[in-house]
């Protein structure tokens, strides 16, 4: 565990393998980067006793935008309308550029924000991230991250003329041998990407076996735009000089976007706050290649009402968890998201919440064979979460009781020192 020994066993009050029941006074054996046994010490040396701790798989934050990780607070006030928030985000980006002396300084500032976001993630037990990158952050994403990142390059091209260029840029990026991190595609949202381009990107995702993430059914205003071609989105896009009434055909629906996303290798439906039962059943029928990503505290920030988590799980929809960015969330603490779900969805079992924050996220990013649960042969991506001295019938209640607890992380069998990532 100290980075010197390559073979060791850890003993803890609880081990949560995720695929299997929690183990009391559990032991896990690690050799190099891999788990070699769960439930027994296979080495001759005694295990390292980490005490009143839960050992869980490293968490997966399936959706974030790290460029905003240097924000001191969310953009806008809680309950802000979604389109008003986008206006403020656009204004923030403009101010950020204006306040920075030149392009290189802006890039360095964004690099720092990305590293800060990774550091913050690690502090809450995250070992895997689904990051939405802009053109700028994608080009300079730190290769040597100590945790596993999939970077989805965001595409915005609403009118047809821009769509071909945008696709060309994207294809050049996905083909580039210079890029060493795992790549994903991200048509931003129905109101910023031409439907034909979304279709093309989904087919390309399948062809290149690349995951694809898209914001969908996120706000009431988005549904209004799709249903009637009216509402605050039209005014917003007109003000941004990005509106063309002919782009989104009348009669198009969230269902059309879902059917298109289902053509992808694997798609992440980001948010899905307003999915109907029929749409949930469609996703459930495509469960092998679709995942909904619930961003609990961001959902609450926009006061969207009750998230249909119970309904989704009831339909068999695979659900993962994301923080979204610090533009709509106070921090990037994924454990806090899971505690929030526990508090606000008491009908959902703790074991299900843990699965959403681990294995379901790894599966969405195509990495569940490698990580996301504690099993022999998987990579030793672990979070060690301090527990209180309380007892509980269901040990998940202990794990999901306190989000501000100390957490240490092993990624590939190595203890991660988060502060080291802040050094330029």
Binding site for Zn ion (CB under 5 A): 324
Report the nearest approach of Zn ion to the CB of residue 324 (Å): 5
C-alpha R_g of the chain? 21
- C-alpha–C-alpha distance, residues 103 and 109, integer Å: 10
In contact, 294 and 21? CB cutoff 8 Å: no
In the complex, the smallest distance separating the C-beta of residue 21 from Zn ion, rounded to whole angstroms, is: 34
Q: Which is nearer to Zn ion, 188 or 200 (CB)?
A: 188
- Please give the structure tokens belonging to residue 400: 């999901």
Nearer to Zn ion, 269 or 312 (CB): 269
192 or 403, CB closer to Zn ion? Answer: 192
Q: Hey, CA dihedral for 181, 185, 188, 189, is it positive or negative?
A: negative
Closest separation between CB of residue 215 and Zn ion, Å?
6
Given a contact cutoff of 8 angstroms between Cβ atoms, the answer to whether 19 and 373 are in contact is yes
Least Å distance between CB 270 and Zn ion? 6
Q: Which is nearer to Zn ion, 293 or 339 (CB)?
A: 293
**Please, which residue, 43 or 220, has the CB nearer to Zn ion?**
220
Distance CA 405, CA 57 (A): 16
- Least separation in angstroms between CB 36 and Zn ion: 38
Of 253, 261, 251, 299, give the one whose Cα is nearest residue 278.
253
Across the beta sheet with 266-271, the strand order is 59-64, 126-133, 148-155, 182-187, 211-216, 266-271, 290-294, 319-321
d(CA 234, CA 229): 8
Taking the C-alpha atoms of residue 411 and residue 417, their distance in angstroms, rounded to an integer, is 10
Give me the least distance between CB of 115 and Zn ion, in Å please. 20
Q: Which is nearer to Zn ion, 147 or 295 (CB)?
A: 295
């Amino acid at each position: 565990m100290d980075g010197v020994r390559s073979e060791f066993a850890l003993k803890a009050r609880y081990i949560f393998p995720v695929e299997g029941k929690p183990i009391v006074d559990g032991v896990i054996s690690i050799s190099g980067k891999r788990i070699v046994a769960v439930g027994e010490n296979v080495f001759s040396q005694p295990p390292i006793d980490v005490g009143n701790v839960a050992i869980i798989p490293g968490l997966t934050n399936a959706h974030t935008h790290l460029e905003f990780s240097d924000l001191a607070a969310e953009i806008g006030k809680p309950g802000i309308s979604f389109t008003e928030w986008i206006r403020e985000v656009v204004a923030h980006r403009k101010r950020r550029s204006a306040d920075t002396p030149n392009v290189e300084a802006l890039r360095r500032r964004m690099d720092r924000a990305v590293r800060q976001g990774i550091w913050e993630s690690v502090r809450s037990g995250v070992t895997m991230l689904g990051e939405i990158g802009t053109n700028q952050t994608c080009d300079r994403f730190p290769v040597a991250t100590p945790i596993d990142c999939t970077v989805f390059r965001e595409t915005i091209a609403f009118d047809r003329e821009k769509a071909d260029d945008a696709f060309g840029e994207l294809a050049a990026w996905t083909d580039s041998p210079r890029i060493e991190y795992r790549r994903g595609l991200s048509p931003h949202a129905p109101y910023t990407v031409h439907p034909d381009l979304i279709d093309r990107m989904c087919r390309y995702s399948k062809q290149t076996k690349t995951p694809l993430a898209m914001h969908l059914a996120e706000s009431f205003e988005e549904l209004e735009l799709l249903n009637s071609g009216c509402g605050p989105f039209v005014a917003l896009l007109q003000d941004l000089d990005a509106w063309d009434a002919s782009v989104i055909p009348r009669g198009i629906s969230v269902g059309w976007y879902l059917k298109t996303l289902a053509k992808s290798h694997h798609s992440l439906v980001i948010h899905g706050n307003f999915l109907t039962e029929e749409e949930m059943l469609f996703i459930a029928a495509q469960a092998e290649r679709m995942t909904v990503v619930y961003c609990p505290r961001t959902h609450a920030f926009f006061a969207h009402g009750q998230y249909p988590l119970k309904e989704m799980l009831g339909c068999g929809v695979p659900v993962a968890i994301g923080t979204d960015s610090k533009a709509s969330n106070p921090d990037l603490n994924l454990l806090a998201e899971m505690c929030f779900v526990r508090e606000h969805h008491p009908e959902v079992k703790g074991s299900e919440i843990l699965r959403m924050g681990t294995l379901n996220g790894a599966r969405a990013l195509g990495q569940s064979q490698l990580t996301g649960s504690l099993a022999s042969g998987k990579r030793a991506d672990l979070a060690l979460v301090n527990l209180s001295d309380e007892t509980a019938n269901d040990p998940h209640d202990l794990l999901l009781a306190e989000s501000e607890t100390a957490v240490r992380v092993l990624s590939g069998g190595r203890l991660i020192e988060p502060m080291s990532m802040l050094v330029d």
